[in-house]
Amino acid sequence: MQTKNHVYISLGSNVGDKINFLQQAVDAIFEKIGDIVRISSVYQTPSWGFESEDFYNACIEIATFYSAQEVLDLLLTVEKQLGRTRAQGKGYQARTIDLDILLSSEGVIATDTLRVPHPAMQDRMFVLRPLLDIAPDVIHDTLQLKISDLINRTKDEVTPEIVRTDLVNPEAKYPISAFQYLTLEGNIGAGKTSLAHMIANEFNGKLVLEQFADNPFLPKFYEDMDRYAFPLEMSFLADRYQRLQDDIGQFDLFTDFVVSDYDVFKSLIFAKITLQQEEFKLYKKVFDLMYSKLPKPGLYVYLYQSTERLLQNIKKRGRDYEQKISEDYLEKINKGYLQFIKSQTEFKTKIIDVSDLDFIKNRSDYITILQTLVAQQ
């Protein structure tokens, strides 16, 4: 998975319902740009550089797949959405919302439209004080000083006064951890592993992934399915059972829930397609014994992808042994999953069609999936 960029953003408002504008900005940043990692308290400070109402200021840390330049472009759209008009050449003005990038894990950036670290942040208490709340030990990339040191050295004598401490992290709208054990399933190339990574990372989940790459029978199976189907399916069943027993059964003090990119029932779905009738009868006896002893998910999600899109994804990720997978094979797998879901009564299930979504590159598509996960059936 791509490493996320951590960006620190200053928020300010001195027009109208200032708290509401700050909260709307936080919500929009979450929906359009990335995870909200930390939110400072809100501070009141005099307007800086012009006469106007006092400002309410805050800082947030976000984690995003976007570059700092892309974040800047998106922040400008958020400002516009909230009624901010940037008038060129008119100096400082009152504003519904003001969003500035302060720091980025990309380090020093100097372009025509963006400079990071923000060139004036060390001289402005309305930036430093809320930033101290969330990043006291973060180092300024050019001055090589911690934020806690910068605030002691600044010449700005303004003392921001704390106003509120309750800006809400929009993640609270998505109680993913309430599922306790979330299973994300899908056909080959559906994107289940990528989504599991994203959800575990954002919502502090324990990630349980299938270790298919270590199976010595898998490349051989795609070369000769009849010969290697039974040893492949038996080895997968044993591995999946053992991992789920170990990872789900073991309590973790540092995570809030478990998210997995597979359920052991997929073993039966694939085995029914690949095994001969007598082999499948034997396999199912072993499977039934194992399956009855495993914990069941709080929510089982099937990510549906069109066969055409699956083949594109398989080709794109470039695993040599997968390149001979046929359209017919993928359609049989999809049919097997849908039959399983239709007959399932032990736990809650959802089907999400992601054929037209790109939840890795498009944050709004990811939010759509989160909304579907927590929506009442």
- The set of catalytic residues is 261
DSSP 8-state code for residue 55: E
Strands (E) located in the chain: 5-13, 35-39, 42-45, 55-64, 98-104, 109-110, 115-116, 161-164, 181-186, 205-208, 257-260, 299-304, 349-353
Residue type present at position 266: K
Report DSSP letters for 88-148, one per residue: TTS-S---S-EEEEEEETT--EE-SS-EES-TTGGG-HHHHHHHHHH-TTPBPTTT--BHH
Residue with tokens 């004598």: 157
Biggest distance spanned by C-alpha atoms of the chain: 85
Exposure string over 278-295, b if 16+ CB within 10 A, otherwise e: eebeebbebbeebbeebe
Which residues are CB-contacts of 19 (< 8 A; sequence separation ≥ 6)?
A: 42, 56, 163, 164, 167
Omega within 30 of 0 (cis) for the link into 117 = yes
| Token output for 370 | 């989160």
Residue type present at position 195: L
Exposure string over 189-223, b if 16+ CB within 10 A, otherwise e: bbbbbbbbbbbbebbebbbbbbeeeebebbeebbe
SS3 370: helix
Whole-number Å distance between alpha carbons of 225 and 221: 5
Whole-number Å distance between alpha carbons of 92 and 74: 21
